[in-house]
Amino acid sequence: MIDESDITERSVATLGLDEARPLRLADLTAPLWRFGFNAGVLSVPDYTVPNLWSLAIHNNVHGLDGIYFVSRYANAPSVAVFSDRAVLVPRGDSIPPARHRALPGFLDRYEIGIAPGGVDWRTPDA
């Protein structure tokens, strides 16, 4: 379940690089022992440790624009860009998720329900 406000108070944006060029990414879909950790680091609910690893890669591997990894939610490839190395700019207008054509399929695919805003649905009834 997600709160209705999560799709009414946010926006979806399409971004692109400010200059056309290939991104140089650390491939975290490959065996991670080469980096000194395993996939468990990338699959935790608290992002503190993954963020520290990302920062370590940023600070120690020059010339990289970001990381390429498998999202723990979508189980699909994802990219995180280091904003000081690859500038992203909007490509078109942002729109609310509720108006995005992919929302119904996304909710179905991940079996996500929408709880009415203002209702504390996270706490079970006593």
Q: What was the pLDDT predicted at 126? A: 43
Other beta carbons within 10 Å of 10: 12
pLDDT at position 89 over 90:
yes
Other beta carbons within 10 Å of 37: 15
**Cβ(53)–Cβ(59) below 8 Å:** no
Both tokens of 90, joined, read 């909007």
Q: What was the pLDDT predicted at 68? A: 92
Angstrom distance (rounded) from CA 56 to CA 60: 6
pTM of the model: 0.69
Angstrom distance (rounded) from CA 21 to CA 48: 30
Q: How confident is the model at residue 124 (pLDDT cuts 50, 70, 90)?
A: low
Angstrom distance (rounded) from CA 115 to CA 112: 10
Both tokens of 52, joined, read 């520290």
